Structure 1
Amino acid sequence: MKNVKLISLALSMLICFVTFAQEKTITGIVSDESKLPLPGVNITNQNTKKTAITNFNGAYTIQAQKGDLLVFDYIGYKSQRQKVESSNTINIKLLPQSQSLQEVVVVGYGTSSNEYENNSYSTSKRKDKKLNSEMLSGRVAGVQISQNTSYMASPKVVIRGTQSLSSKNEPLYVIDGVLAKADQIAKINPNDIQEVSILKDSAATSLYGGRAANGVVIVTSKNEIYKNLTEKELDKKLKNLNTAQPVESNQEDYDSFVENAFESPKTAPLSTFSIDVDNASYTNVRRFINNGQAVPKDAVRVEEMVNFFKYNYPQPKDQHPFSINTELSDSPWNSKNHILKIGLQGKNIPTEDLPASNLVFLIDVSGSMSNANKLPLLKQSMKILVNELRKKDKVAIVVYAGAAGMVLSPTSGDEKKTIIDALENLNAGGSTAGGAGINLAYKIAEENFIKNGNNRVILATDGDFNVGSTSNSEMEKLIEEKRKTGVFLTCLGYGMGNYKDSKMETLADKGNGNYAYIDNIQEANRFLGKEFKGSMFAIAKDVKIQIEFNPKQVQAYRLIGYENRKLRPEDFKNDAIDAGELGSNHTVTALYEIIPSGIESDYLNQKPDDLKYTKTETASSNYSNELATVKFRYKKPDGDKSIEMVKVIENKSVPLGKSTDDFKFSTAVAWFGLKLRDSKLISNKSYENILKLAKQGLTNDVDGYKAELIRLVESEIKIY
């Protein structure tokens, strides 16, 4: 009997262990009926009682296991239940709930023990550590909040009442019974807040008179620490209780550039450029659209939008590390023109065959990184990367603020708790000594260099370098010098308001690197988890493309995007010239727009006079069926000498309707980017037509990234 009990106990423990082991991370996006993201949605796992809440992008993360029931609740919308199946991604659309109010109880004076006291219509109790304005967003009906991009700047709050909504309808603020200003509200330590209440109409005016005509926001602190203070005393106490935080500039920084123009193969026979596997521009554009903001023209780099998506190119079958694929079809935005698509597919190397990694995390912990979408998101992102590491990999952590220092010496990848604990202990504060941090990170990477290994510095920052080497030119010189060490660079951008895209792009372009903008935890999962091999392991470096168009077939051509990656023709064979890297299983896509010979076009400049000393010979009839010849040069990750590949492209165009789904979708993405940039070289600027083409190419979308692009286009249609 005793043995039976022991066996039974062992089986029970085994079942519990297996059940626990099956728990996984569920992520997704919650949107409304118009497919716009919903912030502040509560998600509850009914089986384990674990909870989560969506961020401003409508994204959430929660732990669950197969069979668990997730409940999605949001004020004004019908609750939705979703059972967890095999997929780790659950996207939810909530529908509005049309209900008539049976009873409304408004408390104007004193307190109430009534069951309606905690109704979220009038009160939001503090249960987390969000900024005070976020406590009301999406939780109190009839309240409109416009968040200021500056950290510590006061939000604009409008309570909907009898007057029309306008920015002047700001309510009265009261802290522990003391009249306050909006900027004083913004200075309150969120941890000190017990409760936030809203009064409007007669309930507000009966208590505070005409000053409360636009409603009252009543803040009650824990232990009423601000009670019975004068306005000056309140301001002084707020300053004493809160350490001064640096105020972010609301000016984001992007390098301006002019889009590529059409060129004649007779006067410019060669087009040369470096590949670009970065996709930071797409995630940054996504952030602007999801936040309902206008997209800055210079934030849009079309090639990075196109290369965010993966295309169905075949694996290489020869000794080279990538395959070359081309396709020619009609231009969707200029009906008389053609589009040439050139696609590279990097070799997929099994994880167990990847070389050992020597990684240095270079993390910005300056004061500008204190926001929730900066250092806190950065920590969660790095945990995803840490989980991908093996025993033979090493990680060191360098931080920089007013100065730079190492907080974790090189540590084996299987000591995940040690690495994660070091990340968790990081806090933001101080200025930004970016140059000192880069020098120290590369020094540690060089000291621990692994021959034939993956040696890489991973820089995570908002790009706001303001101490030491600050200008882009100084940073460029520094990083160009550091790339000679053989250490690669990955740049991860975070945040908004003071985001310095120009510096991040310069560092990645000049440092044998790649660059991603992490706007939410889902993007961190994609770039640092699902695409870990492509993001962190280079299979070819200094990859250059040079294409020569046949003047018999091509009247003019232009490279779409890659403006800051163009090279001089003589740079193609110059091994001292830096170019982009290609990662394991990475794809790279480039698009050329072509005006065929004999076509009249408004985009062509007047023909120049015949030259006296230089004559342009027309190509021999032997090449009459060739559209172009494309050449590629690359180096092995640890090599110094380039290897060349050549491919001839025949002049065989198919109608757009018969082109591949990859062609349709990639050109739709490029079209969307050109439209956002307000390109002067597209005649059809219809968002509806962009949407139609993208939907036609919507295949091979297991993770839903292409469907997300469609949602972004639909959002722009609703706005414009």
Structure 2
Amino acid sequence: MKKLAGILLFSLLLISASIANVQSVTVTGKVTDASSGESLPGVNVLLKGSNIGVMTDLNGLYSITFSHQDAVLVFSFIGMQKQEISVGTKRVIDVQMQTDVAQLSEVVVTSGLKGKVSGITFKSRSKKEDEVSDMTYELMSNIVYPQEPVNTEEYEGIDENTFKEATKDPLSTFSIDVDAASYANIRRFINNGQKPPADAVRIEEMINYFDYDYEQPKGNDPFSINTEVSKAPWNEKHQLVHIGLQGKIIPTENLPASNLVFLIDVSGSMSDQNKLPLLKSGFKLLVDQLRPQDKVSIVVYAGAAGCVLPPTSGSEKNRIIEALQNLQAGGSTAGGAGINLAYKIAKDNFVKEGNNRIILATDGDFNVGASSNDAMEDLIEEKRKEGVFLTVLGFGMGNYKDSKMEILADKGNGNYAYIDNMLEAKKVLVNEFGGTLFTIAKDVKIQVEFNPANVTAYRLIGYENRKLQAEDFNNDKKDAGELGSGHTVTALYEIIPKGVESYFKPIDELKYQKDKPEEGSKKQFGNELLTVKFRYKAPDGEKSELLTKTVENEVMAINKTSDNFRWSAAVATFGMILKNSEYLEKGDYPMIVNLARGARGKDENGYRIEFINLVESGRLLAKD
């Protein structure tokens, strides 16, 4: 018995000695994008062979502690090549990640289950790679967002704009749109190995996701007008007209004080990792931008609505962030009650000549109270009269209600973005802080009159749900789009020039119309192609101002056009492919990539190279 006890004691001493020899170590470092040098937030850092892992913060920094011998760290991020690095004696490991288009193409949606995450599986390339995929699957769910078992996403049906005859219908009128939600949502579909629904593709939002290098406004006007004309890359017989607006850039320190109300959906449908957890992380980025003169209130809604943070100065960042951290999801979705309460708080704390705004963050799945599109539209239209603007941030997938989100933003004199990861949160809430939150002009409308002497027919590319009647242009009571500080707005028209043989067949000549407009236009207006007119109001104004610009029929070779022209043409072509447009004559993926690569420009934030990679991924999906 004594001998057995001695053996046990000796074994325990050996185990203790082994444990003592395996000391806890902490490894820190920074993860960046090798192509742009930008920090990469949200990268998974996993200790291979364990469930120990962390994610990089906003600045791409991480810190991981473990006590394993022969440790290997696995760095993974959607669209990037996975890296495995042996730790050894290193205590600082910085990593540069390379783009991996092939990885994106290998994510496919199925109806099966794997581990704790449903809706996603991976094609195996090799036994070793499959083992790594299995091992990192749960942590990867933070970045590769799974489709829910039942897809109830809703998109407004869109009929593509058709050609209009310049003789019979020379006016094209529409409201500007600076929303960019459609592009981010399309990116989510493609990165998850899915082809986006055609109705989710709004080409104007794809084009306006990107910044353009336009001239800054001069004088007192809040924006400049920029135009170019060249051949349409998808149909060389046709012309493409590029119209660009540049909003005046107002430095953050010169922006007026903000009265912000965060209206946050904490219903049960928001519990997924890519919803409320991502939302809270994104809002922290916004809080970091606040100044002492700014104030924030937080309203939440689930089965009922309530205020969880009274108006608080931007200098009390810890208090605001703590209130965000304490939010948890559960219950039904009383969206109407939440909106009413948010507007009441915004009005009670109204800042004269300031930025009074509600920031609604939700998946759009309202199911208690005012929930129909018409009811929500009426509610927002009534509340916007109080001088409070509305920004809508969409999160999640599976039950995402895009149609409701867009209506809320449009009717609330605001903008709409879809946030699918921390990089997008940084773009919307940090890089574009002023444009997202501060309006410099409201009810901005565009009306283009085409000269029938030089134009047989035209069609507006995108903006299908932003079209207005011709008489709405001069009607100051008609609501239209808003323009934020530093925002750019771009619109494209495809034109069939006079004398060009085309599939478009004009309607028969009108019996009772004696004059021939094209003949009179030729004599009186020479080589004019079109006239662009803009109307806008000051943010607190009720009377609109008018700007006018004439565009001559001078067609440049496409290789002589600006990066602005060629980039917007590449994005529009990609959108037409995704929509299966009947007007796409010869556009294809290689043409888009070549056009985009030659127009990438400075690309300081890497958004354009991401688009090029996205097109490559879409090309691989198209082969399936």
Answer yes or no: same fold by TM over 0.5.
yes
Task: Give 2:509's aligned residue.
Answer: 609
In the alignment, does 2:159 pair up with 1:258? yes
Q: Work out the CA distance in 2 between the residues paired with 1:345 and 1:542.
A: 16
Secondary structure, aligned partner of 2:596: helix
In the alignment, does 2:584 pair up with 1:703? no
Task: Give 2:584's aligned residue.
Answer: 682
**1:377 to partner: Cα distance:** 0.1
CA deviations over 1:288-322 (Å, ceiling 9, x no partner): 01110111100000000000000100101111000
Q: Work out the CA distance in 2 between the residues paired with 1:25 and 1:559.
A: 49
In the alignment, does 2:563 pair up with 1:641? no
> Among 382, 398, 402, which residue is 1:497 paired with?
398
Structure 1: where are the runs of 5+ without partners? 1-23, 32-36, 45-49, 65-69, 83-87, 97-136, 163-195, 199-246
1:357–1:392 contact (8 Å) kept in structure 2: yes
Q: 1:349 to 1:41 in 2, by over 3 A?
A: closer
2:166–2:456 contact (8 Å) kept in structure 1: yes
Task: Give 2:616's aligned residue.
Answer: 714
Structure 2: where are the runs of 5+ without partners? 1-27, 64-71, 88-93, 127-132, 136-147
Task: Give 2:6's aligned residue.
Answer: none
Secondary structure, aligned partner of 1:567: coil
1:488–1:513 contact (8 Å) kept in structure 2: yes
Q: 1:601 to 1:485 in 2, by over 3 A?
A: same
CA deviations over 1:542-583 (Å, ceiling 9, x no partner): 100001010011110110000000000110111111111111
Secondary structure, aligned partner of 2:237: coil
Q: Work out the CA distance in 1 between the residues paired with 2:461 and 2:286.
A: 33
1:51–1:62 contact (8 Å) kept in structure 2: no
> Percent identity among equivalent residues?
56
In the alignment, does 2:20 pair up with 1:42? no
> Among 70, 79, 84, which residue is 1:79 paired with?
84
1:8-407 paired onto structure 2 within 5 Å: 42=45, 52-53=54-55, 61-63=60-62, 73=75, 79=84, 91-93=97-99, 146=110, 249-407=150-308
**1:95 to partner: Cα distance:** 12
In the alignment, does 2:425 pair up with 1:524? yes
Which has more radius of gyration? Answer: 1
Between 1 and 2, higher relative CO (CA 8 Å, sep ≥ 6) is seen in 2
**1:625 to partner: Cα distance:** 1.3
Q: 1:312 to 1:674 in 2, by over 3 A?
A: same
Secondary structure, aligned partner of 2:190: helix
Q: Work out the CA distance in 2 between the residues paired with 1:297 and 1:374.
A: 24
- State the superposition RMSD in angstroms: 3.6
Amino acid at match of 1:79: E
Moved more, 70-79 or 437-446: 70-79
Which TM-score applies when normalising by structure 1? Answer: 0.71
Secondary structure, aligned partner of 2:483: strand
Q: Which runs of 4+ in 1 moved over 2 A?
A: 24-31, 39-44, 50-55, 59-64, 70-82, 88-96, 143-162, 613-620
CA deviations over 1:389-429 (Å, ceiling 9, x no partner): 10111100000001111100111111100100000000000
**1:62 to partner: Cα distance:** 2.6
Q: Work out the CA distance in 2 between the residues paired with 1:530 and 1:90.
A: 22
**1:615 to partner: Cα distance:** 4.3
1:401–1:432 contact (8 Å) kept in structure 2: yes
> Among 356, 360, 377, which residue is 1:455 paired with?
356
In the alignment, does 2:318 pair up with 1:417? yes
1:460–1:494 contact (8 Å) kept in structure 2: yes
Q: Work out the CA distance in 2 between the residues paired with 1:494 and 1:660.
A: 35
**1:74 to partner: Cα distance:** 6.2
Which TM-score applies when normalising by structure 2? Answer: 0.81
Q: Work out the CA distance in 1 between the residues paired with 2:217 and 2:467.
A: 26
Q: 1:714 to 1:505 in 2, by over 3 A?
A: same
Amino acid at match of 1:42: V
In the alignment, does 2:479 pair up with 1:586? no
Q: 1:27 to 1:594 in 2, by over 3 A?
A: farther
Q: 1:91 to 1:661 in 2, by over 3 A?
A: farther
Moved more, 331-340 or 619-628: 619-628
CA deviations over 1:440-472 (Å, ceiling 9, x no partner): 101111111111110000000000011111111
Task: Give 1:173's aligned residue.
Answer: none
Q: Work out the CA distance in 2 between the residues paired with 1:463 and 1:144.
A: 26
Task: Give 1:545's aligned residue.
Answer: 446
Q: 1:557 to 1:390 in 2, by over 3 A?
A: same
Secondary structure, aligned partner of 1:492: strand
> Among 312, 331, 336, which residue is 1:435 paired with?
336
In the alignment, does 2:389 pair up with 1:510? no
Q: Work out the CA distance in 2 between the residues paired with 1:433 and 1:151.
A: 32
**1:52 to partner: Cα distance:** 3.7
Q: Work out the CA distance in 1 between the residues paired with 2:125 and 2:437.
A: 54
Q: 1:525 to 1:91 in 2, by over 3 A?
A: farther
Q: 1:447 to 1:695 in 2, by over 3 A?
A: same
Provide the aligned length of Structure 1 versus Structure 2.
550
Q: Work out the CA distance in 2 between the residues paired with 1:582 and 1:26.
A: 36
Amino acid at match of 1:687: Y
Q: 1:248 to 1:397 in 2, by over 3 A?
A: farther
Amino acid at match of 2:410: D
Q: Work out the CA distance in 2 between the residues paired with 1:151 and 1:158.
A: 13
Amino acid at match of 1:701: D
> Among 550, 553, 557, which residue is 1:655 paired with?
557
